[in-house]
Structure 1
Amino acid sequence: MQISKNSAAEFHYTLSEAGEQIETSTGNEPLTYIHGLEGMLPGLETALEGKAAGDSFSVTLEPSESYGERVDDLIQRIPLKHLQGDTKVWKAGMTAMVSSNQGRHQVTIVKVGRFNADCDLNHPFAGKTLTFDVQVLSVREATSEEVSHGHVHSEGGCGHNH
């Protein structure tokens, strides 16, 4: 089966910039998504179209096809209690997750005060030309419940109520 609209696809990826590896899913859980629901970077989703289990490929994405260009001065002061991550002590240069009414966003901490942190709202990969090496593991038709929820469910459902 080939990846097309409403396919549930599972794949491993290695992400690099200028030949230097940034992150990889290999050795961890693969990435899953439903094709055509805009839950994936546009350029990567285009490259995945028509691929099947066992396919491996490489695609290089300009910022416009991935995380966008960097916006200078996109700094916001955020209360420390709103920063989510694996640490109790925040320092400049660390990344954190922040929930807003637009969803969850990754931010980079620029400066930490007693109660607030100045955070760069640009995604850490904004402005970068990124290369994804992808290995497609499985492709299947998504269930109607998965399509309505907008994500792939693991065995036993998704663990939240809609």
Structure 2
Amino acid sequence: MTLTNNTLVIGDNSEVILHFDLKLSDGSAADSTRVNNKPAKMVMGDGSLTKNFEDCLRGLAAGDKKSFLLEAVDAFGMPNPDNIYYVDRTKFSTDTPIQEGMIMGFSQPDGSELPGVIRSIAGHSVTVDFNHPLAGQNVTFDVEIIEVRTASAK
């Protein structure tokens, strides 16, 4: 992080509070902090954003507004066929009806949860896609930097 005219700019180890809008190439909104007027808070390098998204933020300061077009490979990557699984329908709870297009959480051996999109249901086979829902999509990343400060040491 460097100082420019006594203003902190985003660099390694910056804590950033920002509003962002993520739009698909057709202009539809994919995500936005403005919906609930609750800005996002992140620390550069903490894993909450990919390196490509973080690179867009580097050098920006409080008050800056910028728009970036990221190709799919630089945003959420391309869909990986190895992330598509066929699951027996009996593995799903009868309490929760499954439908194509719905996103469900799947428990992992380590206790974490991984989201998967139900792509199709055919007889006893359910196709679940564990790729990021925006994989393969070009996105526009609009940001408004609210505050930049040095991240506190842990």
Normalised TM-score (structure 2):
0.76
State whether structure 2 residue 37 is matched by structure 1 residue 20: no
Q: Does 1:132 align with 2:141?
A: yes
TM-score under structure 1 length normalisation: 0.72
What letter is aligned with 1:12? Answer: H
Q: CA deviation at 1:92?
A: 1.2
**8 A contact 1:109–1:117 mirrored in 2:** yes
The alignment partner of 2:81 has SS state of coil
Which protein is bigger by CA-based radius of gyration? 2
The partner residue of 2:84 within 48, 67, 75 is 75
Aligned residue pairs total 140
Q: Residues 54 and 103 (structure 1 numbering): CA distance in 2 closer, same or farther, change over 3 Å? A: farther
Mark the CA change 1:103 to 1:66 in structure 2 (over 3 Å): closer, same or farther: farther
Q: Which residue of 1 is the match for residue 116 of structure 2?
A: 107
The CA RMSD measured in Å over matched residues stands at 2.8
Q: Distance in 2 between matches of 1:47 and 1:102?
A: 33
Q: Which amino acid letter does the alignment assign opposite residue 106 of structure 2? A: V
Extract unaligned runs of 5+ from structure 2. Answer: 1-7
Q: Helix, strand or coil for the counterpart of 1:144?
A: coil
Query: Aligned pair 1:62/2:62, yes or no?
Result: no
For 2:43, which of 27, 34, 42 is the aligned residue? 34
Q: Percent identity?
A: 28
- Partners of 2:51 and 2:111 in 1: CA distance: 19
The answer to whether the Cα contact below 8 Å between 1:4 and 1:36 also exists between their aligned partners in 2 is no
Runs (5+) with no aligned partner, structure 1: 82-86, 146-162
Superposed CA deviations along residues 20-73 of structure 1, whole A, max 9, x for unmatched, are 222211032222211133431222100101111111100111122121111236
